[in-house]
Amino acid sequence: MERSAQRLGRALVVIVDDRVAHGEHDDTAGPLVTELLEETGFIVDGVVVVSSDTAAIRNALNTAVIGGADLVITVGGTGVSPRDNTPDATAGVLDRPIPGIGEALRASGLAAGAVDAGISRGLVGISGSTLVVNLAGSRAAVRDGMATLSSLVPHVIEQLSGLEEA
């Protein structure tokens, strides 16, 4: 689907993965999210890879917000293991949560047969004028999540930019 003629704004992808951050594994999620964001109509400023450290995640999110990104998609670290810190770091950055989008992401994942979607702690919300979305780290979760977000995110971005009356 070619929606790139209507640019929705700038996006940044944050990959949260200790193995990728330490060069032990290649990042496969970043290029996928970038492609899907560009198809949706975003200009992707880049992909940042950080370890699962709460401070590193929070710093990446704050940098994106301060840098004026309209959308930040984090990938990874949303589960229940001790190193899954993305929602905890995100909670410290959000000004206003949007629980309905997080619930929609979990519901669509469960409907697609991804049992892990039910234990995702991923958050969605607003920090300043930036929409922040946590996605799980699997390629299936990214594809499903981006499909769910494709109709919701443009509406939120329009409201945040004042293009649509709330």
What are the sequence ranges of the domains in the chain?
9-160
State CA 13 to chain mean position distance. Answer: 7
> For helices 139-160 and 29-40, what crossing angle results, to 10°?
40
pLDDT by position in tens, the chain (length 166): 343 345 789 999 999 999 999 999 999 999 999 999 999 999 999 999 999 999 999 999 999 999 999 999 999 999 999 999 999 999 999 999 999 999 999 999 999 988 888 999 999 999 999 999 999 998 899 999 999 999 899 999 989 887 554 4
Question: Could you tell me the pTM of the whole model?
Answer: 0.92
Q: Which helix (H) or strand (E) holds 146?
A: helix 139-160
- Cα gap 51→61, rounded to integer Å: 13
Predicted pLDDT at 46: 96
User: The domain 9-160 is classified under which CATH number: 2.170.130.10, 3.40.50.9100, 3.90.550.10, 3.40.980.10?
Assistant: 3.40.980.10
